[in-house]
């Protein structure tokens, strides 16, 4: 299992917090990523390290359909978002761009900011201290898209066959 | 058949006799809308990532610039140019400066019974005409643009029975905020909110849009009404015919049923920073405001402008308060002009903005500063939604916004009129 540092977020984190509206029309995700979580955490983009994970409460990613939200997280190297539940458009967008969005009901109450956890994505296991939690499996169709690396990669693969 | 309206639309789009909640199906999408919030990214992906770039059916596509309209800086202008050039090159229907995308879609395109994807969360608005509209990201949009298809997880349906009549000074806006306050910001996640009953039937299409539009604020995949005479009349007035007129079967399966007596609904506000933190206007306490906003895909139509004008007529907004008004489309704008509403607004001290997402989107127009308070008919009140991260947004009806702009603090409209 790979070790990851935890960024802990509350319930109902909306996509305006992940990437505010005024940055969405910047030309590239590369340029937008500096503003990730700007309303909530000063300099998140500078502090987050590739391989870190986000652990949040219920309804992560509610609000707007902006795909920039999962994309800036992926661009910064966030390995996975683990939440009690997800808003549906964020959930679908994350899988579509190849960012693992993992539902794990118990994780939120068991972690603190800066904890180190171990995540085994192929088995859907999350180890927090001595405890190992089992995460909810994706529907098979969505898992296939995620395994391909996202919906565009999935489409490109279909084109070959 | 045992199907809901939504299941019937998905079944027809999938070419199946019957579908049930929880199944995943491949569907043909009737129409695809994308706005300037994400289209520049979709175009970059189209140009750089696709093995076989192509457009399945250009006649199903609509591009609309409405979010940062007009452009507020050179980078926005570049994103708009990319969209404009791509639309021209590929013969895609293109609108800019004509209004908020969902209002334009309702005026120009949506037909009852269609399955529509929009790269905007408030695509659920189209359920006012009995279409299944749902918000997607730009990757889903791109996939559907290229293949003409997508996949849908069939959602279960929550049914809301509306009975009785609103009292004077209470509006559909108060009802949908009340419902979201009751069921929560994730109370309908991945589900459909179907509105039915005499109270739903009594609403015109514009009023139904207020309800369907905010379904996503409870997490819903869409909000929908049974298309009836009012829907047919709306379509006829806009030169269209329905694709299908589906009704939910008497024995259709609903996950849960809710009952609302409209005569018991009060004027309410949603407090910052959550759409489901809803209280009656009388309970909100002494809240001074810096700015009011009337507009958006939720509440920028002629009904809301008439309501606001009836409260503002012959009065002046409070010292130090700005009131911004953005009609949802140019059609609405012209009608308001003809009815003399714009004169009333300007006499009262309001600013009239062009038809666009404006203050609701918080990206370019009428943003508020640190510590400021906005009362808005927009769709969301998230932290920093309308500007500085430490500003506050209250959501309310056009009547409450207009009255609060006169009083300089949040008040019920009937208190100001009295």
Query: Which domain CATH number covers B362?
Result: 3.30.499.10
Residue-wise pLDDT for B27-80, tens only, equals 999 999 999 999 999 999 999 999 999 999 999 999 999 999 999 999 999 999
Residue-wise pLDDT for B113-146, tens only, equals 999 999 999 999 999 999 999 999 999 999 999 9
> Residues in chain B with pLDDT < 50?
none
Taking CA atoms, B157 is separated from A59, B23, B154, B254, in Å, by 19, 14, 9, 5
Nearest CA distance, A94 vs chain B (angstrom): 9
Quickly list DSSP for B105-152.
HHHHT--TT-EEEESSGGGGGGGGGT-EEEE--HHHHHHHHHHSEEEE
Structure confidence at residue B206 (pLDDT):
98
- Please tell me which residue of chain A has the smallest CA distance to B46: A152
pTM equals: 0.97
Structure confidence at residue B26 (pLDDT):
97
CB contact under 8 A, B41 and A67: yes
Tell me, yes or no, whether B304 and B237 share the same domain: no
Q: Is A118 on the interface with B (CB under 8 A)?
A: no
Tell me, yes or no, whether B105 and B135 share the same domain: yes
Domain count, chain B: 2
Boundary residue ending a domain (B212, B237, B261): B261
Boundary residue ending a domain (B219, B239, B261): B261
Q: Is B75 on the interface with A (CB under 8 A)?
A: yes
Tell me, yes or no, whether B390 and B368 share the same domain: yes
Distance CA B139, CA A99 (A): 13
Nearest CA distance, B360 vs chain A (angstrom): 10
CB contact under 8 A, B382 and A16: yes
- Please tell me which residue of chain A has the smallest CA distance to B219: A87
Tell me, yes or no, whether B299 and B385 share the same domain: yes
* Domain of B358, in residue numbers: 270-417
Report CA torsion sign: B234, B105, B173, B244: positive
Tell me, yes or no, whether B223 and B337 share the same domain: no
Boundary residue ending a domain (B261, B282, B309): B261
**Contact yes or no for B391/B374 (Cβ under 8 A):** yes
Distance CA B319, CA B290 (A): 10
Tell me, yes or no, whether B410 and B324 share the same domain: yes
Region for residue B412 given its phi and psi (left: phi exceeds 0; alpha: psi -120 to 50; beta: otherwise) = beta
pLDDT at A97 over 60: yes
Tell me, yes or no, whether B231 and B376 share the same domain: no
Nearest CA distance, B393 vs chain A (angstrom): 13
Structural domains in chain A, CATH included, are 2-136 (3.20.19.10)
CB contact under 8 A, A85 and B78: no
Put simply, the chain B residues between 8 and 47 with a CB less than 8 A from any chain A CB are 24, 36-38, 40-41, 44-45
Distance CA B300, CA B17 (A): 39
Tell me, yes or no, whether B204 and B319 share the same domain: no
Tell me, yes or no, whether B228 and B299 share the same domain: no
CA-closest candidate to residue B372, choices B272, B277, B278: B272
Nearest beta carbon to residue B38 from set A27, A39, A66: A66
Distance CA B353, CA B365 (A): 9
Nearest beta carbon to residue B185 from set A12, A68, A88: A12
Quickly list DSSP for B346-377.
HHHTPEEPPSSSHHHH-SSSS-B-TT-EEEES
Nearest CA distance, B60 vs chain A (angstrom): 20
CB contact under 8 A, B186 and A58: yes
**Residue of B72, B137, B220, B272 for testing the chain A interface, max A β-carbons within 10 Å:** B137
Structure confidence at residue B412 (pLDDT):
96
Structure confidence at residue A155 (pLDDT):
96
Quickly list DSSP for B64-100.
EE-TT-S--SHHHHHHHHHHHHHHHHHT-EEEESSB-
Tell me, yes or no, whether B156 and B20 share the same domain: yes
Q: How confident is the model at residue A159 (pLDDT cuts 50, 70, 90)?
A: confident
- Please tell me which residue of chain A has the smallest CA distance to B155: A88
Tell me, yes or no, whether B283 and B210 share the same domain: no
Q: What residue has token string 């305006």? A: A16
In b/e form, how buried is each residue of B105-136, taking b as 16+ CB within 10 angstroms? Answer: bbbbbbbbbbbbbbbbbbbbbbbbbbbbbbbb
Tell me, yes or no, whether B294 and B249 share the same domain: no
Quickly list DSSP for B197-213.
SHHHHTS-HHHHHHHHH
Q: Is A96 on the interface with B (CB under 8 A)?
A: yes
**Contact yes or no for A64/A15 (Cβ under 8 A):** yes
- Residues in chain B within 8 Å Cβ distance of A155: 50-51, 143, 146-147
**Residue of A11, A16, A21 for testing the chain B interface, max B β-carbons within 10 Å:** A21
In b/e form, how buried is each residue of B66-81, taking b as 16+ CB within 10 angstroms? Answer: bbbbebeeebbeebbe
CB contact under 8 A, B221 and A24: no
Distance CA B150, CA B374 (A): 39
pLDDT at A84 over 70: yes
Q: How confident is the model at residue A13 (pLDDT cuts 50, 70, 90)?
A: very high
């Amino acid at each position: 299992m790979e070790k990851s540092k935890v960024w802990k977020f509350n319930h109902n984190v909306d996509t305006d917090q992940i990437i505010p509206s005024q940055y969405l029309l910047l030309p590239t995700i590369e340029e937008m990523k500096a503003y990730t979580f700007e309303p909530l955490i000063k300099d998140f983009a500078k502090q987050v390290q590739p391989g870190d994970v986000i652990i949040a409460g219920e309804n992560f990613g509610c609000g707007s359909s902006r795909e920039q939200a999962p994309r800036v997280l992926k661009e910064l190297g966030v390995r996975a978002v683990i939440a009690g539940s997800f808003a549906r458009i964020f959930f679908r967008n994350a899988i579509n761009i190849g960012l693992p969005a993992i539902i794990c009901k118990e994780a939120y109450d068991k972690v603190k900011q800066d904890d180190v956890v171990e995540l085994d994505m192929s088995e859907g296991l999350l180890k927090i201290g001595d405890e190992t939690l089992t995460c909810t499996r994706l529907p098979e169709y969505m898992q296939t898209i995620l395994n391909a690396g996202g919906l565009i990669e999935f489409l490109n693969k279909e084109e070959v066959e | 058949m045992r199907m809901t309206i939504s299941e019937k639309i998905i079944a027809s789009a999938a070419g199946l006799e019957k579908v049930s909640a929880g199944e995943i199906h491949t569907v043909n999408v009737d129409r695809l809308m994308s706005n300037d919030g994400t289209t520049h990214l979709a175009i970059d992906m189209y140009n750089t990532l696709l093995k076989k770039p192509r457009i399945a059916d250009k006649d199903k596509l609509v591009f609309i610039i409405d979010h940062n309209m007009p452009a507020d800086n050179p980078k926005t202008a570049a994103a708009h140019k990319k969209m404009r050039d791509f639309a021209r090159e590929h013969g895609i229907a293109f609108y800019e400066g004509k209004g908020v995308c969902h209002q334009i879609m309702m005026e120009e395109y949506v037909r009852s019974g269609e399955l529509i994807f929009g790269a905007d969360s408030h695509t659920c608005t189209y359920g006012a005409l009995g279409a299944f509209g749902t918000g997607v990201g730009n990757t889903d949009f791109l996939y559907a643009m290229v293949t003409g298809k997508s996949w849908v997880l069939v959602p279960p349906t929550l049914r809301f029975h509306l009975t009785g009549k609103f009292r004077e000074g209470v509006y559909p806006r108060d009802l949908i905020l009340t419902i979201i306050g009751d069921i929560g910001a994730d109370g309908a996640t991945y589900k459909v909110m179907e509105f039915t009953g005499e109270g739903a039937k009594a609403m015109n299409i514009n009023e139904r849009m207020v309800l369907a539009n905010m379904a996503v604020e409870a997490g819903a995949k869409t909000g929908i009404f049974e298309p009836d005479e009012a829907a047919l009349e709306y379509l006829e007035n806009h030169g269209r015919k329905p694709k299908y007129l589906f009704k939910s079967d008497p024995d259709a399966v609903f996950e849960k049923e809710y009952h609302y007596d409209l005569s018991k609904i009060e004027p309410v506000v949603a407090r910052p920073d959550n759409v489901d933190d809803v209280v009656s206007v009388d309970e909100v306490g002494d809240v001074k405001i810096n700015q009011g906003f009337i507009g958006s895909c939720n509440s920028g139509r002629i009904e809301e402008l008439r309501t606001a004008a009836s409260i503002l007529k012959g009065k002046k907004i409070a010292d130090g308060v700005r009131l911004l008004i953005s009609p949802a489309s140019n059609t609405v704008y012209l009608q308001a002009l003809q009815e003399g509403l714009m004169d009333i607004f300007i006499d009262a001290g309001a600013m009239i903005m062009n038809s666009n997402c404006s203050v609701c989107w918080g990206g370019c127009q009428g943003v508020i500063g640190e510590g400021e308070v906005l009362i808005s008919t927009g769709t969301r009140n998230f932290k920093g939604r309308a500007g500085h991260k430490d500003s506050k947004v209250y959501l309310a009806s056009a009547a409450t916004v207009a009255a609060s702009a006169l009083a300089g603090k949040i008040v019920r409209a009937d208190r100001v009129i009295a």
